[in-house]
Amino acid sequence: MSKSNKQTILIAGGDGLVGKHLVNIIDTSQYHVIILSRKKKTSYQAGVEYAVWDTDKKTIDDIPSPDHIINL
């Protein structure tokens, strides 16, 4: 399934204790996962990317509208 056919899940807190486990159980062949992070990071997991969320400037990287949002 191509990235354009996958639904997108945006996860705030995807780098925390619960978030890391959640990301690991999401089927990335079916979903594209975007993790909001306060620091620029590189994902080493296929189907997962990071978007920078600057809480001081109140900005988020340009990302497509997600189909699902999980706020941990």
Tens of pLDDT, residue by residue over 40-71, are 888 888 899 999 888 888 878 788 899 999 99
**Chain centre to alpha carbon of residue 31:** 10
Band (2; pLDDT cuts 50, 70, 90): low
Structure tokens at 5: 């056919």
Q: Is 23 exposed, middle or buried (0-12, 13-18, 19+ CB in 10 A)?
A: buried
Domain that holds residue 56: 3-71
Task: Count structural domains, the chain.
Answer: 1
- Using alpha carbons, select from 33, 29, 30, 31 the residue that is nearest to residue 19: 33
Distance from C-alpha of 23 to C-alpha of 29, rounded to nearest angstrom: 12
